[in-house]
Structure 1
Amino acid sequence: MPEKYTISYPAKRVHSDGRVENSEVLLARECAVKIILDGNLFTTLFASPLELKELAVGHLITEGILSFREIENIEVEGSEVRILTRKEKQTPSTEAAGEARKKVQVSKETIVESDSVFDPEALFAGTEHLESAIYRLTRGTHLAALIDRKGKLAIQIVDVGRHNALDKAVGAAFLRGFDLSQHYLLSTGRQPAYMVTKAARAGIPLIATKAMPFDSGVEAAKKTNICLVGQLRKESMLIFSNEWRVKLQPFSKSL
């Protein structure tokens, strides 16, 4: 499967001592994916050329356009994903969708209702899933994973964009019938308000990233009832919001 994510390109490697070598390197592939909603072009996304159904479903959910129960049928034709809804509704144009994505304010209605709490061990277990074979080959992809409360990997997705990886993970979860309120999102990307809000719309109660969040991401997490964890390492992590979602045991004092 790595060959579907990558393509070989010639390049010249120039060394600091003046040596020049011909080389072949693997680059991450990207394609234009058209989402056709009820017969109308909704948007075009640029993503890795796999899991296109998951991408479209997750994107519509995390952008607040549809709920999963409103989807009647999904068909993939080449790089086009055609989705029919159960009820007639006004389909936003591509321009309107673009304007909506520029707005990072968190809606007052976007609140994660889940009361899930996670053991620190379940979060530290996520460090085993932060790197993929595709990343090691290309150094040009992001990863999103969904991990349950026991620390078990449920879904792992690789894409050229951190937002696409999130959309695909959410889409895969809904298509497989997973309960997102009982999972946390593991990400390799930074977390601005936009990313946190997308996760909130999907009902994800906790986000853990190996990167550092933006201040806007922390504020969005506070407002949406999400626990935001940054700089996740095997030996430590930083909790920025709603720390009650992590079972923190008090340190015992030495006598």
Structure 2
Amino acid sequence: MRALPAEHAIVSAGYALRDVQRWRDGRIETDQDCIAEELPIALLYNDRPHVVMMATPRDLDDFVLGFSLSEAVIDHADELSDVQIHALLEGIEVRVRIPGAHAEVLEGRRRNLTGGTSCGLCGAQALEDAVRQPAPVDAGVEIDPRALHRALDHLQDLQPLNTATGATHAAAWAHADGSIALLREDVGRHNALDKLIGAMTRAGERVSAGFAVITSRASYEMVQKAATVGIPVLAAISAPTALAIQLAESTGVTLIGFARNNSHVIYTQPHAATGSRREHAA
């Protein structure tokens, strides 16, 4: 791959401006549109290629940390070091160092994935790679339904990239009272969650003290990532899949879907999101 000149720093708003022809009220007019950026991001651990993800080229430090944690490449943030991000003509290359023991485990998985924005595990070579079973999560705080919808009400206002382009997902971390502490955006829903996990880790957020909200469906990979880092409650504005529900049940994650328009559906662990935990304990 060919490196770009040094003056091409990786500073991205996440979108590009493009001239377009817009049809409106029977007339054609020239206009400018904000288009979400999507580039291949190659991730190398200890100089060994591991995965290429199509992602929005912003918050890449959060992305590599969150991906490394949610995919169980490392156990703790301080095991990731010497992060080097290089802009190339073909995309972006991210090189990181991890402990040798983790690198050996990673090599043993024999995974060299090419993930798209709708699939995070394309190319897994074994069933155990595709459906990894995380350990059960610790119990979190009870989430009042009003707190969940308080977070949902503020979600759109905190998505500048989606406001500009209409093409990105978001993952947000909210405290128990529904106040949103962190939010990350990306063209890929998996990437947005990984970026959020990285940002939460850097900020020292306690996973037991809040809940995550995603602007997408809740596929099993999203539950898998949440459970791997210990997030106890995951709320999606769209539907879950059957495997996501099964995985949430087995790991103790409270999974919520169709969270919008002042309503939602609780699929697993309902006591954590209905205020009934105390009743169960009584």
Change (3 A) 1:69 1:14: closer
Per-residue CA deviation, residues 93-133 of structure 1 (Å, 9 max, x unaligned), is 552673169755352x5321234322222211111332212
The 8 Å contact of residues 127 and 234 in structure 1, kept in 2 or not, is answered as no
* TM-score normalised to structure 1 length: 0.86
Single out whichever of 94-103 and 223-232 deviates more from structure 2.
94-103
- Corresponding position of 2:151: 126
- Corresponding position of 2:35: 27
- Corresponding position of 1:7: 16
- Corresponding position of 1:105: 131
**SS of residue in 2 equivalent to 1:121:** helix
Distance 1:21 1:153 in 2: 39
- Corresponding position of 1:169: 196
Any gaps of 5 or more consecutive residues in structure 2?
A: 1-10, 87-91, 114-120, 277-282
Within a 5 Å distance, the mapping from 1:1-255 to structure 2 comes to: 4-14=13-23, 19-69=27-77, 71-78=79-86, 79-88=92-101, 89-90=103-104, 91-92=106-107, 94-95=111-112, 98-99=123-124, 104-107=130-133, 109-131=134-156, 132-248=159-275
**SS of residue in 2 equivalent to 1:122:** helix
The 8 Å contact of residues 196 and 217 in structure 1, kept in 2 or not, is answered as yes
Distance 1:164 1:14 in 2: 33
The 8 Å contact of residues 36 and 81 in structure 1, kept in 2 or not, is answered as yes
- Aligned residue pairs: how many? 246
* TM-score normalised to structure 2 length: 0.78
The 8 Å contact of residues 68 and 174 in structure 1, kept in 2 or not, is answered as no
Per-residue CA deviation, residues 140-181 of structure 1 (Å, 9 max, x unaligned), is 000001111122212110111100000000011112222112
What letter corresponds to residue 208 of structure 1 in structure 2?
Answer: A
Q: CA RMSD in A?
A: 2.5
Any gaps of 5 or more consecutive residues in structure 1?
A: 250-255
Between the aligned residues of both structures, percent identity stands at 25
